[in-house]
Amino acid sequence: MEALKNLTLSPTHRTTIICTIHQPRADIFQMFDYVLLLSKGGYSIYCGPTMGLNPYFESLHFACPLHSNPADYYMDISSIDPIQDSIDNQSILESPSKARVKHLVRSFQNYNSNFTSDNIATPTHQQQTNTDQPPIQISAKYATGWAQQVSTLTQRCYMNTYRDPWNLIGGIGQSMLLSAVITAIFWQLPDSLTATESRCGLLYITTTLEPYIFLLILVERYGSELKIFDRELLDDMYSPSAYFVSQFIASLPQFTVQPILYSIPVYFGCNLRSGGQYFFTFLCVNIVITFIVSGLAWCCVSLHRSFSVSSLIANTNYTFICLTSGYLVNFNSLPIYVFWVKFISFLAYSYQIVMVNEFSDNTLGGCPYYDDPDCTQYDGNEVLQSNGIANDNYISTWPPLLTIFIVYHLVAVLLLDFIRNPVTGSIILQLNFIHHYIFFNRGCRW
* Segment 46 to 85, residues that bind other proteins, using CB under 8 A: 47, 50, 71, 74-75, 78-80
CB of 163 to other proteins, least distance (A): 4
* Segment 83 to 142, residues that bind other proteins, using CB under 8 A: 112, 117-118, 120-122, 124, 126-127, 129-131, 133, 135-138
Q: Please say which residue, 176 or 338, places its beta carbon nearer to other proteins.
A: 176
* Segment 327 to 386, residues that bind other proteins, using CB under 8 A: none
Question: Of residues 63, 181, 190, 231, which one binds other proteins by CB under 8 A?
Answer: 231
- The footprint of other proteins on this chain (CB under 8 A) covers a number of residues equal to 96
**Segment contacting other proteins (CB under 8 A): 23-31, 198-206, 269-277, 400-408?**
23-31
CB of 175 to other proteins, least distance (A): 19
CB of 220 to other proteins, least distance (A): 12
Q: Please say which residue, 109 or 396, places its beta carbon nearer to other proteins.
A: 109
Q: How many CB atoms lie within 10 A of CB 166?
A: 10
Counting contacts by CB under 8 A, is residue 219 touching other proteins?
Answer: no
Instruction: Select from 255, 253, 265 the least CA-distant residue to 289.
Output: 255
Counting contacts by CB under 8 A, is residue 179 touching other proteins?
Answer: no
Q: How many CB atoms lie within 10 A of CB 377?
A: 13
Q: Please say which residue, 134 or 335, places its beta carbon nearer to other proteins.
A: 134
* Segment 401 to 440, residues that bind other proteins, using CB under 8 A: 422-426, 428
Q: Please say which residue, 233 or 288, places its beta carbon nearer to other proteins.
A: 233
Instruction: Select from 244, 267, 259 the least CA-distant residue to 291.
Output: 259
Counting contacts by CB under 8 A, is residue 18 touching other proteins?
Answer: yes
CB of 4 to other proteins, least distance (A): 6
Measure the CA angle with vertex 275, ends 271 and 280; round to 5°: 95
Dihedral sign, Cα of residue 24, residue 30, residue 34, residue 36: positive
CB 269 within 8 A of CB 176: no
Pairwise CA distance, residues 200 & 364, whole Å: 13
Counting contacts by CB under 8 A, is residue 32 touching other proteins?
Answer: yes
Instruction: Select from 104, 118, 116 the least CA-distant residue to 37.
Output: 104
CB of 97 to other proteins, least distance (A): 11
Q: Please say which residue, 119 or 330, places its beta carbon nearer to other proteins.
A: 119
Q: Please say which residue, 277 or 426, places its beta carbon nearer to other proteins.
A: 426
Instruction: Select from 291, 288, 292, 296 the least CA-distant residue to 314.
Output: 296
Counting contacts by CB under 8 A, is residue 156 touching other proteins?
Answer: yes
Residue 28 CB contacts under 8 Å (≥ 6 apart), including other chains: 1, 2, 5
Instruction: Give CB contacts under 8 A, 24+ apart, made by 398-406.
Output: 398/349, 398/353, 400/343, 400/349, 401/285, 401/288, 401/292, 401/346, 401/349, 401/350, 401/353, 402/288, 404/292, 404/344, 404/346, 404/349, 405/288, 405/291, 405/292, 405/295, 405/346
CB of 258 to other proteins, least distance (A): 19
Counting contacts by CB under 8 A, is residue 306 touching other proteins?
Answer: no
Q: Please say which residue, 128 or 277, places its beta carbon nearer to other proteins.
A: 128
Measure the CA angle with vertex 194, ends 192 and 197; round to 5°: 110
